[in-house]
Amino acid sequence: MRPFGVSITALALCATSAGVLAADGVAFSHKNWEVVCDNTLTCRAAGYGPEEGSGGSVLLTREAGPGTAVQGRVMLADIEENDSPETVELTLFIDNQTMGTVAPGPDGDWELTQQQTDALIGAVKGSGVAEFRGGKAPFVLSGEGANAVLLKMDDVQKRVNTPAALIKKGNKPENSVPAAPAMPVIVAAATLDAAEKPLDEAQTAVIRPLLQASVSADDCERLYPDEKNAPEAISLTPLDDKHVLLSTLCWRAAYNEGYGYWVMDAALKGKPEIVTNSGTSYVKGIIDMAQKGRGLGDCWGNESWVWDGKTFQLSSSYTTGMCRYLRAGGTWVLPTFVTDVKKADNAL
């Protein structure tokens, strides 16, 4: 059994040549490059070194709309606790010519200037060599896949044939580039400060068939006990005076597990509404999912849902980039879906 949520996550994280539409965003990868564009059409292209586990990664971020520039960042490999780059001064070289030092960023990364970013893009588009020196070992950025990925970025943002296109420039007016779509707004509802508790036998006997009716055995096999798996407990957490959150283990794999979460009437009447079969936690009105792309834990898929008083709305969806053994917990945050969550005072 391969849960649907994990299949999508693995595809987005570890594909070598794919284009997939997920959560209103776009993800595409080719060879040593990938691009992920979110629902506001902000695109983030990540390039890597030619070999897994060494060098680092470059992130090129561009917001939608006419006249926006590409912002460049660098992350060096730092997978082990004792593997800190201990960089004194990181310098960018293009074709063995220095482009100056790179300024440290706030998140253990480095931030390229506009001139450095433009020079790096020019190098990977053609036959140039972009190299970072100053870490434990030089980081040579691969150009394989860059053209296809940057063209995809242009295409998603409707820049093809405009002067500011990265790959296919033309004379189409820059003002023809569409503006960024508005970010969806979610108004989070307050939730009760109530503890999770297991259903008793009588409640379980009533609720389990209702949950089974909402999800197949393929998507929540542990909800259907058999000779291999004993019945999993079903838990209840009050959300407010009218709603409760039900949860139970749906599946367990080699290095991930997923819980099902359902919203139901507080009187336990009616049909439960499933939120996800791959959740990993619930805290104060937020359901989170965090699943590894592989057992090494160097690449992840994450989603979150926020309670709005009626249902849980998807509030974010992102991966952490290719499985390249560069950083424990992932290299970058590459969203496919973003929202503006207006926080509620979490007290009733």
Domain spans, the chain:
4-182, 186-342
Cα 141 from chain centre: 23
* 63: exposed, middle or buried (Cβ count in 10 Å: 0-12, 13-18, 19+): middle
pLDDT confidence bin for 2, thresholds 50/70/90: very low
So what's the pLDDT on residue 69? 98
So what's the pLDDT on residue 79? 84
pLDDT confidence bin for 346, thresholds 50/70/90: low
Out of 2.60.40, 3.30.70, 1.10.1130, 1.10.10, the CATH code matching 4-182 is: 2.60.40
- Picking from 292, 344, 345, the residue whose alpha carbon sits closest to that of residue 323 is 292
Largest CA distance in the chain: 74
> Could you read off the pLDDT of 72-122 as tens digits, one per residue?
999 999 987 554 555 569 999 999 999 999 999 998 999 999 999 999 999
pLDDT confidence bin for 286, thresholds 50/70/90: very high
Q: What is the mean pLDDT of the chain?
A: 91
> Could you read off the pLDDT of 134-185 as tens digits, one per residue?
998 999 999 999 999 999 999 999 999 999 999 999 999 999 999 999 999 9
Residue with more model confidence, 325 or 7: 325
Does residue 1 have a pLDDT over 70?
no
CA distance 74 to 60: 9
Does residue 12 have a pLDDT over 60?
no
Strands 197-198 and 185-187: unpaired
> Could you read off the pLDDT of 262-271 as tens digits, one per residue?
999 999 999 9
So what's the pLDDT on residue 8? 37
| Model confidence pTM above 0.85 | yes
So what's the pLDDT on residue 227? 77
> Could you read off the pLDDT of 183-239 as tens digits, one per residue?
999 999 999 999 999 999 999 999 999 999 999 999 999 999 887 888 899 999 999
Residue corresponding to tokens 């003002």: 175
Does residue 244 have a pLDDT over 50?
yes
Segment 22-42 mean pLDDT: 91
CA distance 304 to 31: 29
Residue with more model confidence, 42 or 81: 42
Does residue 6 have a pLDDT over 90?
no
Strand ranges of the sheet holding 257-265, from the earlier edge strand across to the other edge: 197-198, 235-238, 243-252, 257-265, 273-279
So what's the pLDDT on residue 86? 56
Segment 241-255 mean pLDDT: 97
Segment 289-304 mean pLDDT: 97
So what's the pLDDT on residue 345? 64
Query: Residue 233 carries which DSSP code?
Result: P
